[in-house]
Amino acid sequence: MSFQFENLPPEQLQLQVPVYILKGQTSVPRNGLLAIFNDKFNVQYYEVYNGHFKAMIHLGPGVNSLVLQHVDGIWMNGQPAFPKDAPSVYAESKVKINYSPIQDDRLVPKIHLCVLVARDSPHLFDCPQAKMFEGNGLDVAIKKLRMGGRIMQAFTQDDMYLEHFGSRSFRFIEEHTRTTISYFEEQRGVKRDEIKIHVIPCNRTVAEIRNADYAQQNSKAKKAGELFSIAMDSLVKYGGPFSDQSTNSIPAMAAVMILDAHWDKSQNLILGHAALGGGSDRIKLAIFGSHGLHSWPMNLESLHRAFTDTTPISTNEVANDCNQCGTAWECFTLTLGAFMHEIGHLLGCPHQRNGVMLRDYLTMNRKFLPKEAYCQRTNRSEWGPVPTSQEPGWHRLDKIRFLYHPAFAVPSDFYVDSFKPRAFQVNQGMKLPQDMISEISVVTIDKDTFDLVAPSGLYLVEFITGEFPDLHYEFLPVFLQGQGCQGGVRISISSVEAQLKTKKPINLRILARGFIQKDISDIRKLLAELSTPVMVQGGSLALTKSEPYGGSNGRDVMVSFPDKNIKGFQVTHGLALDGIRVCFEDNSYVDFGNFKHHHTDFWLQKDEVVTGFNVRCGAWVDGIQILTNRKTSPMLGGGGGGVRQFLIPQGRKLQGLYGKMESWCISVGFLYG
């Protein structure tokens, strides 16, 4: 008798994480156990419900030869139990699954999984009496975090596969050590590549970490974001991968659990806990408390129990987070899922209309088991089989972000230069080379139409009228039958309004490769400002403005050009742009900003025309680069800020400059017509 698989990967597909959720059903529609014998791992057992199964399989490096048997048996007290005689085998199948992760660490960034401990920490986490047999010390926390990390990876990989984006998931930093992923292998002292758990010392005391003013769920907290700052500071002091030297070119990613979180019933607060994700240019960070760690499994053998344990949670012992942790398994899915939600933030995901980035992780058990246990939150009895259609997952907009995130790379990506250009592979793909355009520009065509320009390649444009995107344009890779990333996209506001059937203000969120994001509030208002004609030459000529590039302080400056051919530019600069003299063929000129006698000259040939500019800027204009139809000037100025690009629309020409000035140039924009 045979098996029917829902998602058996082809043998040539190289999985990138050592766990895989295999789903399907056997030819015998009855309950029992699924035994999986693996030549690279010890035997594992999973529940079969009416012939349906979902099995999170642990894999060894290379091709894993698996024998699957649907056998007679039940789960009893969290363990597989069999008849006294040899169990009957109802169905059997043999399959192969290939786990061959990318070996070159220069190509794929990974998340550091960490546990933060106070300087006087007792190294214990909250635990009810019913779970004290497992222990609640730091060593147990490390085992549970490792297992939690693998569950998150399997969940995400399955969801990306369902979206037809490939078997992609984020990775964690690993170390070759004595395994804890399986109780039986741990007892035998087997060594494997396991998730490395950094134990991060904190210079704050337990009392300081448990300050009620730091508790995120305290509506009266005076410093609700302080735990995030404490975690960030502790990582920097820890050094190593989080040191300034290490993060100078490659930002680090860290997911930190605060071990000394604690439920205080007298205050009705979880102290030492905050669910936050975000970070800086150097460290992308997610933090979460340990208050639900007691409900997490320590190893694969305890996974089934963790997802089905209906033991009531008592607030006399531990927290009932958001009043949605009435049973042990609900505590597990909420706390692990919420931690994964914060990891979503560090990976660049905002809140979404549904999915993990809302709160759909409450039912993440449905990805791993063919039936669901009694749920106190919904008062729903045990039910099954659970179809894939009722599993939670990441929102499609999150999965598009993951597709273009270097942490989710698969080997075949590096053979498609249009998807992963070689220039993007430096810095593990986490930071563009300094000389690459690192911003998205808006170029006005008319009062209804504009271009979004990003040389690194636009892949997502979201249109938002409320809290979440109402419409989006996606540009998937060609190998997924998409158009590929776009250097420029032309958008009509009236067309978008017609699609949305609204006249509400429309906000934009635009994403391009290289972690480039631009947010625009009320695009029609911005378009009206940029498309309002700038009247020059006594009102006889109407020009259009580009966006200003740089800061917002300083005095306004604007110059328009006479109707003459440009001969060249004389640019005054040091470590910032001071001013620009625009020279014409009759030897006349106009000055923008502070022209000085030390300058760099850039002369044009006959029939050479200006096509655009690259502007290096931040709080001011660091430098400017002139683009023509024949050549490009050096970057004239300093090396600070990010690089933005303005390309003059086809059929238009440069007619002037505007911006803000102080002792040097604060911002510069371009007039064209």
More confident residue, 278 or 87: 278
- Looking at the fold, whether 581 and 489 belong to one and the same domain comes out as no
- Specify whether the CB–CB gap between 496 and 527 falls below 8 A: no
Of the listed 194, 342, 391, 439, which one is catalytic?
342
**How many CB atoms within 10 Å of residue 38?**
18
In a domain, residue 316? The reply is: yes
> 224 and 288 share a domain?
yes
Residues 398 and 445 in one domain: no
Q: pTM above the 0.85 mark?
A: yes
pLDDT digits (tens, 9 = 90+) for 281-300: 999 999 999 999 999 999 99
**DSSP SS3 for 498:** helix
Average pLDDT over residues 513-523: 94
* Percent of the chain with pLDDT strictly greater than 70: 100
Total number of domains constituting the chain: 4
Going from the C-alpha of 453 to that of each of 432, 571, 671, the distances in angstroms are 17, 25, 17
The yes-or-no verdict on residue 538 having pLDDT over 80 is: no
Residue 586 lies in domain: 543-672
Same domain, 500 and 571: no
Helix/strand/coil for 47: strand
Per residue in 474-500, pLDDT (tens digit) is: 999 999 999 999 999 999 999 999 999
Q: Is the pLDDT of residue 537 over 80?
A: no
Asked whether residue 537 is domain-assigned, the answer is: no
CA atoms of 567 and 586, how far apart (whole Å):
9
Question: What sign has the CA pseudo-torsion 204, 210, 213, 216?
Answer: positive
Range of lowest pLDDT (432-441, 556-565, 622-631): 432-441
**Residue 435 within any structural domain of the chain:** no
Average pLDDT (138-148) is 99
Please tell me the predicted confidence (pLDDT) of residue 514: 92
Q: Summarize pLDDT for 162-203 with one digit per residue, the tens.
A: 999 999 999 999 999 999 999 999 999 999 999 999 999 999
Residue 410 located in a structural domain = no
Whether residue 311 is found in the same domain as residue 272: yes
pLDDT for the residue numbered 529: 87
Residues 373 and 465 placed together within one structural domain of the fold: no
Do 321 and 274 belong to one domain?
yes
- Give a yes or no: residue 355 inside a domain: yes
Domain check: are 523 and 614 in the same one? no
- Same-domain check for residues 397 and 447: no
Confirm whether 419 is domain-assigned: no
Same domain (yes/no): 52, 160: no
The pLDDT score that the predictor gives to residue 1 is 58
Q: Looking at residue 513, which CATH number applies to its domain?
A: 2.60.40
Q: Is residue 25 situated within a structural domain? A: yes
- Asked which of 77-81, 342-346, 555-559 is least confident by mean pLDDT, the reply is 77-81
Task: Collect contacts of 475-478 with beta carbons under 8 A, ≥24 apart.
Answer: 476/400, 476/403, 477/403, 477/416, 477/418, 477/419, 478/416, 478/418, 478/419
User: Same domain for 487 and 577?
Assistant: no
Distances (CA, A) of 340 to 59, 333, 393, 629: 22, 10, 11, 49
- The pLDDT, as a whole number, for residue 65 is 98
Nearest to 362 by CA among 301, 413, 292, 299: 292
How far apart are the C-alpha atoms of 374 and 307, rounded to whole Å? 11
More confident residue, 160 or 663: 160
Task: Give catalytic status of residue 342 as yes or no.
Answer: yes
Question: What integer is the mean pLDDT of 39-53?
Answer: 97
Contact residues for 540 (Cβ-Cβ < 8 A; gap 6+): none
Last residue in a domain, options 349, 375, 403? 403
Token pair 């056998």 is found at 71
What is the four-CA torsion angle of 389, 391, 395, 398, rounded to 10 degrees?
-120
pLDDT at 561: 94
CATH number of domain containing 613: 2.100.10.30
> Would residue 282 count as lying in a domain?
yes
551 with 501, same domain: the answer is no
